[in-house]
Amino acid sequence: MPIAMHWYEYLIELISPSFCLSCHRLSPALCVDCYHGLEFYYQKDSSLEEGGRDDAASNSKVEIVCRLHGPLAKLLKAYKYQHAKNLGVFLAHLIFQHAHLTPHYDFLAYIPLHPLKLRQRGFNQCQVITQALGELWQIPVVDLLKRTTYLSPQAQIEDRQERKSRVKGIFALDEQVKNLIRGKRILLFDDVLTTGATWREAQSVLLTAGATTVDGLILASKK
């Protein structure tokens, strides 16, 4: 079922209608047909593509909400590269409707962008979605991580070991929150899972800092 809109959102659409970002018919974000064309995962994925997790992460859970193809791929492209920041709330509601992870966490966190990429894009798409999810689930969202190294996209690297080694040390814990996460349960969000190496590196930093649980919530995967 498509995500319900509030009365004022209907009013906005009547005054300034938008188009389905997949098929371009008159519709908010995704039309009914394209929405029903999304492929949702109805099971939790306890592993990531890279495999071989260490003991500290062995009990973590990762849920991937959708398969990245068709309508969702077009929607995410518009969201990330066409400055459609308002789509973040729509995507958060989509996750809220379909995610199966029970949101019993102390904090929500997200994968940060490098400052250079943040300036280029103008906003962190993961941060916008996570903040909206925090409001829906009534869970605090905390800026836990900083990205210290600028990398080209992981998808361009074919060798699995190289993908793992090049992300080592790309994240650092924000000094202001070092004492905040010890003993806490954290749900770490990323929008798209490509190789899994980046998310796992972020998880490792948080576990090393003393978090008891760092589970994953991923909007979409190509697999």
- List, for residues 130-163, the tens digit of each pLDDT value: 999 999 999 999 999 999 887 655 555 555 666 6
Q: Are 57 and 114 in contact (CB under 8 A)?
A: no
Task: At 153, list the tokens.
Answer: 């996209």
Q: What is the pLDDT of residues 76-107, one digit of tens each?
A: 988 888 777 788 999 999 999 999 887 789 99
Mean pLDDT, rounded, for 106-124: 90
Q: pLDDT higher for 176 or 43?
A: 176
**pLDDT for 218 beyond 80:** yes
Q: How does DSSP classify residue 4?
A: P
DSSP 61: -
Angle 87-98/125-137 helices, nearest 10 degrees? 50
If you average pLDDT over residues 38-63, what whole number do you get?
Answer: 64
Which domains are present in the chain? 1-37 (no CATH), 39-221 (3.40.50)
Q: pTM for this one?
A: 0.83
